[in-house]
């Protein structure tokens, strides 16, 4: 039996058949008639928590006999959800199609010789699943999502993000040179690079900002404020949230990840002489929501979703400088001057301008991912509730969760109070 993430048992998923195994192993480099598949099994990638909301995450273990030698291979599988409502949402948003296009058509162009990888490798594409190298077998680990990044994790994440963004720029510059006219990935693949639910008229985004305002009025430090102050907050709330979605498409853009929360960044570690493990690499996963935007928007997304407010504010300029220097050095290695692409002062202005974007996306996502692992599994394994929370009534859900969990309450309040302080009451 196969144990799904909600603890219930089902037969082994039908999309992993022996024919699928042959496809996977062929893509992995084996000649099928020269090997024997001794055993295979499919298990949940994580029994006690959800890795994400819009896919089932599995580990495929395969034992093969090749040249009289037994070998074991692990693959990470991102499958279409078994819950029909989730599967319908994934299909309507073309999330699997977007990720497949990214890996097969965009990433293949962005991969550069001599540049350290910034993502996992797609091994095979099945009808209802994408098969990747299992990064945990390569000793990459996912951090506890309830613990914010320290300095070392932040720098490794920014270093990887700079590699990712550089790959986009370098490919475009090379094609531009060969064609003798400007070329942009955003023009060629624009249909796959939309903002999906981060749109002013999208019901998902409307539910986010409505639920957030309720939290400010009922649970934040402003809950007992005088009526005039609350009216100012309420009157300006939608305008501020909508303003976060605006961006200048005249700025140089890159392929952006646009979902850089904890579970989409995996870290590799080394042991120091004192025995402490420290991160020495980071890779990005889950490219279902890629966009084509100024790189500063990805940077601010990363910093807001993963850093404590005080640490972020105190070190913001240093972090900008670190990312920009990484970008500069990588581009220079490939014969490109960063000043010809994104001058430093332009990048810093852009990052500060998109600070509000980082705040609002963090405030939106934390409404769902801020739950502890047990609550996430309980609430989002129920099909009817999942759809209701996403599209119809986020406010009731948030109110129930705030009353149930003080930890969740604290996480959800922090970015909202920052929005009020920095963008409503200061203007």
Per-residue model confidence as pLDDT tens for the chain (427 residues): 333 334 434 344 455 888 999 999 999 999 999 999 999 999 988 877 777 888 899 999 999 999 999 999 999 999 998 888 888 888 887 889 999 999 999 999 999 999 999 999 999 999 889 999 999 999 999 999 999 999 999 999 999 999 999 999 999 999 999 999 999 999 999 999 976 678 899 999 999 999 999 999 999 999 999 999 999 999 999 999 999 999 888 899 999 999 999 999 999 999 988 989 999 999 999 999 999 999 999 999 999 999 999 999 999 999 999 999 999 999 999 999 999 999 999 999 999 999 999 999 999 999 999 998 888 877 777 666 788 888 899 999 999 999 999 999 999 999 999 999 999 998 6
**Residue 396, domain member (yes or no):** yes
Which among 135, 168, 196 is the end of a domain?
A: 135
> What SS3 class is residue 284?
strand
Q: Are residues 173 and 127 in the same domain?
A: no
Q: Are residues 419 and 401 in the same domain?
A: yes
As a whole number of Å, the CA-based R_g of the chain is 22
Q: Are residues 379 and 286 in the same domain?
A: yes
Q: Are residues 144 and 75 in the same domain?
A: no
For residues 357 and 244, the answer to whether their CB atoms sit within 8 Å is yes
Domain limits at 47?
Answer: 2-82+121-135
Which among 111, 135, 159 is the end of a domain?
A: 135
How many domains are contained in the chain? Answer: 2
Length of the chain: 427
**Residue 111, domain member (yes or no):** no
Q: Are residues 228 and 279 in the same domain?
A: yes
Alpha-carbon distance of 109 to 113, in angstroms, equals 11
Q: Are residues 293 and 175 in the same domain?
A: yes
pLDDT at 136: 92
**Residue 88, domain member (yes or no):** no
Which among 104, 135, 166 is the end of a domain?
A: 135
Chain center to CA of 349:
24
Q: Are residues 131 and 143 in the same domain?
A: no
pLDDT at 13: 46
**Residue 114, domain member (yes or no):** no
Instruction: Specify which residues 254 forms β-bridges with.
Output: 293
User: Which ranges of 247-390 does DSSP label H, i.e. alpha helix?
Assistant: 295-306, 309-333, 344-353, 355-369, 373-380, 383-387
pLDDT at 94: 84
Q: Which residues of 131-144 are buried (b: 16+ CB within 10 A; e: fewer)?
A: bbbbbeeeebebbe
Instruction: Specify which residues 42 forms β-bridges with.
Output: 60
Q: Are residues 198 and 75 in the same domain?
A: no
Q: The pTM is what?
A: 0.94
**Taking Cα atoms as reference points, which of 79, 86, 70, 6 lies closest to residue 42?**
79
pLDDT at 196: 67
Place of tokens 């001599």: 114
Q: Are residues 20 and 143 in the same domain?
A: no
Q: Are residues 126 and 149 in the same domain?
A: no
Alpha-carbon distance of 372 to 394, in angstroms, equals 17
CA distances from residue 231 to 35, 212, 223, 263, 423 in whole angstroms, order as listed: 71, 15, 12, 37, 15
pLDDT at 11: 42
Instruction: Specify which residues 413 forms β-bridges with.
Output: none
**Taking Cα atoms as reference points, which of 64, 129, 142, 70 lies closest to residue 96?**
129
**Residue 171, domain member (yes or no):** yes
For residues 257 and 295, the answer to whether their CB atoms sit within 8 Å is no
Q: Are residues 166 and 23 in the same domain?
A: no
Helix 295-306 / helix 355-369 crossing angle, nearest 10 deg: 50
Alpha-carbon distance of 174 to 103, in angstroms, equals 20
- Here the CATH number for the domain that contains residue 348 is 3.90.1200
**Taking Cα atoms as reference points, which of 386, 296, 405 lies closest to residue 341?**
296
Q: Are residues 197 and 154 in the same domain?
A: yes
**Taking Cα atoms as reference points, which of 409, 416, 312 lies closest to residue 361?**
416
**Residue 19, domain member (yes or no):** yes
Alpha-carbon distance of 183 to 167, in angstroms, equals 14
**Taking Cα atoms as reference points, which of 333, 320, 352 lies closest to residue 169?**
333
């Amino acid at each position: 039996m196969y144990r799904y993430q909600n603890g219930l048992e089902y037969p082994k998923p039908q999309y992993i058949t022996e024919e699928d195994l042959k496809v996977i192993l062929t893509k992995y480099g084996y000649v099928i008639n020269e090997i024997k598949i001794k055993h295979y099994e499919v298990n949940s990638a994580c029994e006690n928590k959800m890795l994400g909301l819009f896919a089932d995450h599995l580990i495929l273990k395969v034992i093969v006999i090749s040249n009289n030698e037994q070998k074991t291979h692990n693959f990470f599988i991102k499958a279409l959800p078994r819950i029909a409502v989730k599967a319908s949402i994934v299909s309507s948003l073309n999330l699997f199609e977007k990720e497949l296009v990214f890996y097969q058509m965009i990433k293949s162009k962005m991969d550069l010789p001599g540049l350290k990888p910034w993502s996992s490798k797609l091994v095979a594409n099945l009808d209802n699943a994408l098969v990747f190298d299992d990064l945990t077998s390569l000793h990459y680990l996912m951090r506890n999502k309830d613990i914010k990044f320290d300095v070392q994790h932040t720098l490794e994440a920014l270093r990887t993000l700079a590699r990712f963004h550089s790959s986009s720029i370098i490919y475009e510059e090379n094609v531009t040179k060969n064609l003798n006219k400007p070329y942009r990935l955003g023009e060629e693949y624009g249909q796959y690079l939309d903002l999906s639910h981060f749109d002013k008229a999208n019901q998902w985004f409307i539910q986010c900002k409505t639920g957030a305002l309720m939290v400010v009025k009922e649970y934040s430090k402003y809950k007992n404020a005088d009526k005039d102050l609350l009216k100012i907050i309420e009157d300006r709330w939608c305008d501020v949230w909508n303003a976060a979605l605006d961006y200048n498409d005249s700025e140089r853009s890159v392929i952006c990840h646009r979902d850089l929360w904890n579970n989409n960044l995996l870290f590799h570690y080394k042991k120091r002489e004192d025995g402490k493990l420290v991160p020495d690499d980071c890779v990005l996963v889950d490219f279902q929501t890629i966009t084509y935007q100024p790189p500063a928007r990805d940077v601010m997304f990363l910093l807001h979703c993963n850093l404590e407010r005080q640490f972020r504010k105190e070190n913001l300029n240093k972090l900008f400088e670190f990312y920009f220097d990484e970008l500069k050095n990588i581009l220079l290695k490939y014969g490109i001057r960063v000043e010809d692409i994104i001058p430093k002062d332009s990048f810093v202005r852009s990052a500060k301008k998109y600070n509000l974007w980082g705040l609002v996306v963090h405030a939106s996502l934390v409404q769902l991912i801020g739950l502890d692992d047990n609550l996430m599994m309980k609430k989002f394994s129920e099909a009817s509730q999942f759809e209701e929370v996403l599209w119809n009534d986020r406010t009731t859900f948030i109110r129930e969760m705030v009353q149930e969990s003080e930890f969740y309450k604290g996480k959800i309040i922090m970015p909202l109070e920052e929005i009020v302080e920095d963008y409503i009451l200061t203007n």
